[in-house]
Amino acid sequence: MKTTDTKAVRNPRDFQTRVKKLALIGCGKMGEALLSGILGSQLIPVENVEVTVAEPPQADFLAGKYGVRASTNNIQAVRGADLVLIVLKPQQVKGVLHEIKKALGKDAVIISAAASVTTGLIERELGRPVRVVRAMPNTPCLIRQGMTALAAGTHATPDDVSLAREIFSAMGRTVVVEEKHMDAITGLSASGPAYVYLIIESLAEGGVKLGLPRELSTELSAQTLLGASSLVLHTGEHPAKLKDMVTTPAGCTIDGLMELEEGGLRVTLIKAVVRAAQRAKQLVENQNS
Ligand SMILES: NC(=O)c1ccc[n+]([C@@H]2O[C@H](COP(=O)([O-])OP(=O)(O)OC[C@H]3O[C@@H](n4cnc5c(N)ncnc54)[C@H](OP(=O)(O)O)[C@@H]3O)[C@@H](O)[C@H]2O)c1
């Protein structure tokens, strides 16, 4: 497994030579985070991006907010697109693939961020050796602190994977993995921000219980997670070693840790990742096989 060197990102001008039109199909919560990240990274000019949603008012909203062409017309959006980013709900993907099948250019590259949907399903539904890269991003892509895993489909070239890495590394870290790991990654880093918000909220409530103002408590809590996470990534140390640095013998931290162990925090988090990954596998299980 390799992590991205963001310095490897090509000049936006090179990217634009390769991608003259990008279609983003399904511009909902995740799609908007990606749209915002892509436009913010200036990889591609706004006039070269077309997005779609299900409801016309939402299309109007996105057009007004970002200045992109936005509609409910998937066929029009993919026509002439070199790159098609699919950010639909898993259950919506198959129907939309049928809809766009004929309009999709023969050299178009598809990047799908839909959980559970395999590259095999997309290749099969389109009925030809289409180049597909599967991506599993997370919402911090919105502020370029995302974590995205990428996996190549059968016909995707190394250059297609590089293209996907360029897009997502402009929004945070990327890793290239074997596709068999994608459900586990969905349960960990794609669902993970939700678990972390619960932890931030709970730590902040601890502060509130002790009389700290809520706003201050939330800031202390969130920055503590950010700082501790950054230290793991920056030093490359095992988290247990960094934990030991905080835990003075007979000090306060060991008492806090004992409470967490008694409450089963570790096993609860492990089970959360496993359950979410199992669910990710089930979402379109009958369509994948
Ligand atoms: N949310 C996350 O943190 C996250 C992280 C990683 C991956 N993902 C993946 O991203 C995908 C989308 O998730 P989400 O949370 O962003 O869901 P969402 O907010 O419901 O977004 C789905 C979008 O698809 C649009 N849509 C529905 N049917 C359509 C159609 N026929 N043609 C064009 N657009 C259509 C919807 O339009 P309207 O807005 O008009 O209803 C909506 O904007 C899922 O597969 C999920 O697994 C999400």
Q: Tell me, letter by letter, the H, E, C secondary structure of 162-173.
A: HHHHHHHHCCEE
Task: Detail the DSSP E strand segments found in 5-123.
Answer: 22-25, 49-52, 69-71, 83-86, 109-112
Query: pLDDT for 11-27, tens place per residue?
Result: 777 788 889 999 999 99
Distances (CA, A) of 180 to 130, 167, 188, 274: 19, 22, 14, 15
| Atom number, ligand 1, closest to the C-alpha of residue 186 | 6
Instruction: List all residues 6 or more positions away from 64 whose beta carbon is below 8 Å from its beta carbon.
Output: none
Pocket test for ligand 1, best of 24, 25, 29 (most atoms within 8 A of CB): 29
Q: Are strands 131-136 and 69-71 parallel, antiparallel or unpaired?
A: unpaired
276 within ligand 1 shell (Cβ under 6 A): no
Residue 15, pLDDT score = 84
Are 72 and 78 spatial neighbours (Cβ–Cβ below 8 Å)?
Answer: no
Does domain 2-183 bear CATH number 3.40.190.10? no
Pocket test for ligand 1, best of 51, 87, 94, 279 (most atoms within 8 A of CB): 87
Nearest CA to ligand 1 atom 1: 30
Query: pLDDT for 257-284, tens place per residue?
Result: 999 999 999 999 999 999 999 999 988 8
52 within ligand 1 shell (Cβ under 6 A): yes
Q: Phi-psi bin for 172: left (phi > 0), alpha (psi -120 to 50), beta? A: left
Residue 6, pLDDT score = 43
Distances (CA, A) of 263 to 7, 225, 252, 259, 267: 43, 20, 17, 6, 9
Nearest CA to ligand 1 atom 30: 54
Please tell me if the domain spanning 2-183 has the same topology as the one spanning 192-282. Answer: no
57 within ligand 1 shell (Cβ under 6 A): no
The stretch 73-95 carries a mean pLDDT of 97
Could you identify the residue written with the tokens 């960990």? 188
Secondary-structure class of domain 192-282 per CATH: mainly alpha
Nearest CA to ligand 1 atom 28: 54
Domain ranges of the chain: 2-183, 192-282
Pocket test for ligand 1, best of 25, 53, 84, 189 (most atoms within 8 A of CB): 53
**75 band by pLDDT with thresholds 50, 70 and 90:** very high
Burial 230-241 (b: 16+ CB within 10 A, else e): eeeeeeeeeeee
The stretch 59-69 carries a mean pLDDT of 98
Distances (CA, A) of 30 to 79, 136, 153, 191, 253: 23, 10, 22, 12, 37
Global confidence as pTM: 0.93
The stretch 227-239 carries a mean pLDDT of 98
The stretch 164-184 carries a mean pLDDT of 95
Distance (Å) from CA 206 to ligand 1 centroid: 35
